[in-house]
Amino acid sequence: MAETNITLHRLGARLAFLDGLARSKLMVAIVSLLTTVVLTAIKLGLGITTGSLALTADGLQGLMDVIITLSTMLFVLGAAQPACATWTNGREKLEALAALIEAAVLVVIAVCIWYLAAQKMVHGHHVAEIERWHLIVVIGAIVADGLRAQYVGWVARRTASLALEANAVHFRTDALGSLMVLGGLFLAHQGWPVADTLATIALAGFLSWTAWRIGRRAGKLLLDMADPAESLAALEVLESHPDVAGVPLLRLHQRLYGTDIIARIALRAGREAEAAAIAAALETRLMERDGILSATLAVATAAPED
């Protein structure tokens, strides 16, 4: 008992840095992990029992879901830690890295499912043994997938978590994929065995599309790819000031919750005394724009004109 209390005390000390939002992220990740384990066991067991390729593929995807959700939980925990001398910008981009890894895993799963579907198209369609209660179980799994996606998506929007948003999109695709599997099982039950293979192909297509969508956004955040319109708008604000001679440096740093702007402006000769006031006014104008978290301006004086 004493050892258990010491362990819990140490765990509480390690998690003491988490704020309310970070605790919400961690909690939803844990709930999502437990739900994923249960749903995966149901789908995979039912797929093996019935001989349905589509349902087995859905269950195999669920196995990867367990790994993805566990890694998401760890990345969310790491991203919540405060900035330090090494991580001066904080660790929030770890969530983007988690989303990128999730996209890569989805690609691997999609390729495997494409291969299984192609094999079945070439070698013929196995007639799955489908009973009505199998369909009822799949419907229950679809409802659970949908509720899980809604819950994770709600927390992702409230906490602006890219990792949880990726999870929510993934779970939403799980629900849609399971719906396709249900359609294939129903048609197979009615005497159309090819429907099971077609449902598998549709599932692979959805996974491929989801991987592209998640990976594209995560890659943009990791590479600091800004919206050109946002960059031009910031440049216009700076250049529109009558005392600004030029903008030799403009950087938009993408963060999980918005954008930081770092710029260096050159003032016209003779305006050195107003440099601090001009910089403060421009920083205020930049931060009035939606999605801008901070604006930092360095000021230099332009060389006098001949």
Nearest CA to 62 among 96, 104, 100, 105? 105
> pLDDT value at position 15?
45
CATH superfamily assigned to domain 17-222: Cation efflux protein transmembrane domain (1.20.1510.10)
Quick check: 208 pLDDT over 50?
A: yes
Contact yes or no for 221/256 (Cβ under 8 A): yes
Position 4 scores a pLDDT of: 45
Residue 10 scores a pLDDT above 60: no
The more confident residue out of 97 and 185 is 97
CA distance 41 to 47: 10
- For residues 174 and 150, the answer to whether their CB atoms sit within 8 Å is no
Dig out the tokens for 152 from the structure: 């994770």
Q: What percentage of the chain exceeds 90 in pLDDT?
A: 3
Domain boundaries in the chain?
17-222, 228-301
What average pLDDT does range 201-210 have in this prediction?
Answer: 81
Instruction: Kindly indicate the confidence band of residue 155, based on its pLDDT and cuts at 50, 70 and 90.
Output: confident
Sign of the torsion angle spanned by Cα atoms 182, 183, 184, 190: positive
3-state secondary structure of 169: helix
Of these ranges, 56-70, 74-88, 227-241, the one predicted with the greatest mean pLDDT is: 227-241
Take residue 174 and report the two structure tokens written for it: 């799980």
Phi and psi, residue 85, nearest 5°:
-65, -30
> What's the confidence (pLDDT) of residue 1?
47
Mean pLDDT of all residues in the chain?
75
Kindly state the average pLDDT of the residues 155-167: 73
Question: Is the four-CA dihedral 263, 267, 273, 274 of positive or negative sign?
Answer: negative
The predicted structure's pLDDT at residue 93: 77
Least-confidence region, from 28-42, 62-76, 196-210:
62-76
pTM beyond 0.75: the answer is no
Structure-model confidence comparison of residues 140 and 29, the more confident one = 140
- What is residue 254's three-state secondary structure? strand
Rg (C-alpha) for the chain, rounded Å, is 26
pLDDT of residue 295 exceeding 80, the answer is yes
What is the per-residue pLDDT for 204? 81
Q: How many whole angstroms separate alpha carbon 104 and alpha carbon 226?
A: 23
Encoding tokens for residue 182?
């249900």
Q: Which of 78-92, 229-243, 270-284 has the lowest mean pLDDT?
A: 78-92
pLDDT in tens, 79-135: 767 666 677 666 777 778 878 887 887 788 788 878 877 877 776 655 555 666 667
Q: Is pLDDT larger for residue 214 or for residue 236?
A: 236
Which superfamily does 228-301 belong to? Cation efflux protein, cytoplasmic domain (3.30.70.1350)
At 131 the pLDDT is 63
By residue count, the chain amounts to 306
Report, as an integer, the average pLDDT of 21-49: 75
Kindly state the helix (H) or strand (E) to which residue 148 belongs, with its residue range.
Answer: helix 132-159
